[in-house]
Amino acid sequence: MTGQVPQESVLGLLFVIFINDLDDGVGNWISKCADDTKIGGVVDNEVDFQSLQRDLGHSEEWAERWQMEFNADMCEVLHLGRTNQNRMYMVNGSELRNAVEQRDLGITVHSSLKVESHVDRVVKNAFGVLAFINQSIEYRSWDVMLKLYKALVRPILEYGVQFWLPNYRKDVNIIERVQRRFTRMLPGFQHLSYRERLNKIGLYSLEHRRLKGDLIEVFKVMRGIDRVDVDKLFPLRVGKIQTRGHDLRTKGQKFRGNMRGNLFTQRVVTVWNELPVEVVEAGSMVSFKNKLDRYMDGRGMEGYGLSAGRWD
């Protein structure tokens, strides 16, 4: 739509209320934000195509009814899937241009679903903040530098990571390079290996933290802390007598290709199912994290069955 509305503002909240009925009559999924709205769906045939185009037409009618206007020049189509026919869609009588990638809530989504472009962007941002800290801080005690790193740099590399977690070793190493750079900034650490530097200041590798974060998220889903459809995301194994393992083992789904296998709901299944009963049945989030740390430390787990790459 024409114009921009700040999302974190009173005006943004009022605008969200104003567009609350935009999805009435829309058959496909729709995501509404203060300054952006997305409509999408699975398009396998002509019927699916007409359904999605009809929803776009419905949105145009809504905008006309409320005396607003979609800016077709700012609207784009992101086609996903190797067999996608890349059909053309219309808004206000104009064909929407195809986009190679789109940024949504701070995450760059590429049409190939590869995360390389997002990894490059967040790593560049993280290195920029790290350079600012390096130039601005004169008294570089471990305590001060560690707090700055945890507060300003690491969140850039871990925001929304359950969605875009890298599955190629080159991307994993590129991200890890930021923490390597930080640990070398600390006085007296230049002669130590990366592993030794991490142990000395009590940090885990970023790959280790991503694995731990995935398992924590599954625990939150299973315990109802996150309000999502548990049966849809992580259907439990049923119909078989389990002599080993815990009662919250999931069965995953069949898939072809690495991309689908790297989705959060797929990649975490094997690791979650292998967790001991005492870890999965922890009584609280704090207890789960503590038991998970002890289990992962004992197993020497750095990632999904992957080594941590170069440690120097």
Phi, psi (rounded to 5 degrees) for 250: -100, 160
Radius of gyration of the chain (CA): 23
Over residues 182-211, mean pLDDT: 91
**Which tokens go with 114?**
């590869």
Residue 285, pLDDT > 90, answer: yes
Answer with the residue of higher pLDDT: 133 or 69. 133
Question: pLDDT tier at 308 (50, 70, 90 boundaries)?
Answer: very low
**Which tokens go with 249?**
């083992």
**Which tokens go with 229?**
């459809």
Picking from 41, 35, 40, the residue whose alpha carbon sits closest to that of residue 6 is 35
How far apart are the C-alpha atoms of 255 and 8, rounded to whole Å? 39
* Dihedral, CA of residue 230, residue 155, residue 157 and residue 134, to nearest 10: -170
The pLDDT tens digits of the residues spanning 41-52 come to 889 899 999 999
Please tell me the predicted confidence (pLDDT) of residue 244: 67
Q: What is the DSSP string of 215-251?
A: HHHHHHHHTTSS-S-HHHHSPBP-SS--SSS-TT-B-
In sequence order, the β-bridge partners of residue 78 are 99
Which of 120-129, 134-143, 239-248, 266-275 is the least confident region? 239-248
CA distances from 302 to 32, 168, 176, 217, 312 (A): 38, 15, 12, 17, 16
The pLDDT tens digits of the residues spanning 251-260 come to 877 766 666 7
- b/e 112-128 (16+ beta carbons within 10 angstroms → b): eebbeebbeebbeebbe
**Which tokens go with 28?**
């496909």
Please tell me the predicted confidence (pLDDT) of residue 305: 41
How far apart are the C-alpha atoms of 220 and 18, rounded to whole Å? 33
**Which tokens go with 157?**
């590399």
Pairing of strands 107-110, 94-95: unpaired
